[in-house]
Amino acid sequence: MKVRYNENAEIVKTVKEGLKRRGGYCPCRTGTSEDIKCMCKEFRDQIADPNFEGYCHCMLYYKEK
Ligand code: SF4
């Protein structure tokens, strides 16, 4: 299992800027729940799922099996 950044540097840059603007909360969502603080609960659950492979919701990270 490995978690890495998206191979597209442009996407990484845009999402990181969004995270900065949102004070660490997911830029692809609204609100300020603890569950959407990066890394959000959804992606942490996906990391914990041995069958999941793919990008996080914002496509900042990619989880390899
Ligand atoms: S892990 Fe991805 S989807 Fe989750 S908050 Fe961070 S950038 Fe958004």
Report residues whose beta carbon is within 6 angstroms of any ligand 1 atom.
15, 26, 28, 36, 38-40, 43, 56-58, 60-61
* Predicted pLDDT at 14: 98
Residue 51 Cα to ligand 1 midpoint, Å, equals 19
* Predicted pLDDT at 35: 98
Query: Per-residue pLDDT tens for 4-62?
Result: 999 999 999 999 999 999 999 999 999 999 999 999 999 999 999 999 999 999 999 99
* Predicted pLDDT at 21: 98
Please tell me the pTM assigned to this model. Answer: 0.95
Identify the residue whose tokens are 């800027």: 17
Residue ranges per domain, the chain? 2-64
Locate the ligand 1 atom nearest the alpha carbon of residue 37 and give its number. Answer: 5
**Rounded distance, CA 27 to CA 25, Å?**
6
